[in-house]
Amino acid sequence: MAGFGNSLMLKRGLTFVTGLLECLCFAGAVFGWASLVFVLKSEGYFSSLCVNVTQVNGTQVLDCSGQDEQFSLVFTIASFMNNFLTLPNGFLFDRFGTTVARVFGILLYTMGTLLVAFSASALSNLLFPALSLLSVGGMLFLITNMQVGNLFGSHRSTIITLYNGAFDSSSALFLVIKLLHEVGVSIQASFLFLAACGVIHLFRTFFLLPRKFFPYPLPDHYTYGITCGESSSIANGNMRHTVEETPTSKDVNMKQEKSFRECFLSRFFWLHLLWLSVMQLRHYLFIGTLNPMLQRLTAGEPSLVSQYINAFAITQMCGVLCAPWNGLIMDRHKGKPLAAGESEGEADLRATVLSLFLTALQCLLFSVCATTPYLPLQYVTFILQVLNRSFLYGGNAAFISVAFPSCHFGKLYGLVMALSAVFSVLQYPCFALVKGALGGDPLYVNIGLTLLSLLAFIHPLSVYLHCRSLATQRAKNKVIN
């Protein structure tokens, strides 16, 4: 019996560690786009869009704004697909479970890596489907791994935010490819290796994850993987397991839970969508325009641009270190006595207020620094960007898991990501505006986005007022009784 318990703990630990590595090394690679663009430019991708222009003084210079715009479009579409297709992927996950969702995600991710591997400057347009497949497949890795938090009860939010931080840090994968390229390793070799790693993903799918879902709260002696099931009884010191797996991570009191429609129409959902959308747009535009922004601030000095691109990519690796702070903020009340009449769910919701507020504040500071056209300040911008991104996506998933029934998590997470993706498409007209009417100077667009990010403060204020209203109502009921 003790040996069985130890093997369960070992398996859960292995599931956690391998899931963290999967998110860290693969899932969010597309957000390291700035590093990959540097390599693709050196390989001549979209180079036909660079033209010679004659300046006022009669000298000719190479204008590659068309090339930059095309690279920006590739990232815009990939980031849109990353979020928008999270909706059908969320339904796929809720309906068919972990195994089906992951096999589909592995297929998409492998196809994306193969398309990049066999692309070339003459086939630059292959980047459009390739990056989209990579982003959608990577998001499925994240969605199916976030449920691992259910294995660790009181640390659930911390695990969810940690995995989201690892997702952010995986953008450093393209930095590794950039550094390998500089020492002679081809893009084709790097992406063929990533395609071969699909075998590892399949191994985790069948041996270290449930066929359907990890339930929450977790039943005693719950097992999963090839021998998935739940301990049904203990007889003569031997465990006997049911053949069928525990039902999908549905909450215990299902009859009292809100329907999906009620969750979708709630104030919390729409304010949370606003909170996510305005900050996500700020991040996407920053990542998509980082290369031309650095070209402008460095007067086009290639070695200096490369230095800042490397610094940005290295800071992205710290996302996995930043994200758990947000989870600890949300889990800090665990183990403490609840207020009189307060439920665990209400305490969880109250704990999100500080997280939501700090995330909005970080975005404001990040946007102010990104707006300031002073090159050395961009090191601070990079730090604030990775800190805020880690808080943003980890807090997004954790809030949905806390504020709404777990049986709707996949659908609601997918829906909020899909709707925010529609909003994030504004990054492309913003980029076109900068390149066109504003003559390459993003100052006014950055000021507008900074002002727009102030809307994110509405959500934590709304949650705070709701929690205070619940506390006031409990106090009144106590007096009456």
Tell me: the pLDDT tens digits for 341-388? 667 777 778 888 888 999 999 999 999 999 998 899 999 999 999 889
Closest by alpha carbon to 77, among 124, 129, 125, 126? 129
Tell me: the pLDDT tens digits for 182-206? 899 999 999 999 999 999 999 999 9
Domain contains 261: yes
What is the DSSP pairing of strand 51-54 with strand 60-63? antiparallel
Q: What is the pTM of this model?
A: 0.72
Q: What does 242-276 look like in DSSP terms, one character per residue? A: -SSPPPSS--S-GGGSPPHHHHHHSHHHHHHHHHH
Domain that holds residue 245: 2-50+61-471
Domain contains 316: yes
Q: What is the pLDDT of residue 249?
A: 40
Contact status, residue 386 vs residue 283, Cβ threshold 8 Å: no
The number of folded domains in the chain is: 1
CATH number at residue 71: 1.20.1250.20
Domain contains 139: yes
Contact status, residue 234 vs residue 220, Cβ threshold 8 Å: no
Instruction: List the single range of 149-163, 230-244, 368-382, 441-455 with lowest mean pLDDT.
Output: 230-244
Domain contains 435: yes
Say how far apart CA 111 and CA 145 lie, in whole Å: 21
Q: CB burial class (10 A; 0-12, 13-18, 19+) of residue 281?
A: buried
Domain contains 477: no
**CA count, 13 A, side-chain hemisphere, 447:** 4
Q: Say whether 51 sits in a helix, a strand or coil.
A: strand
Domain contains 481: no
Phi, psi of 73 (to 5 degrees): -65, -40
Tell me: the pLDDT tens digits for 397-407? 888 888 888 77
Q: Cα–Cα distances in Å, from 267 out to 41, 274, 383?
A: 45, 11, 32
Domain contains 45: yes
Percent residues over pLDDT 90 in the chain: 26
Whether 238 shows a pLDDT value over 50: the answer reads: no
Domain contains 283: yes
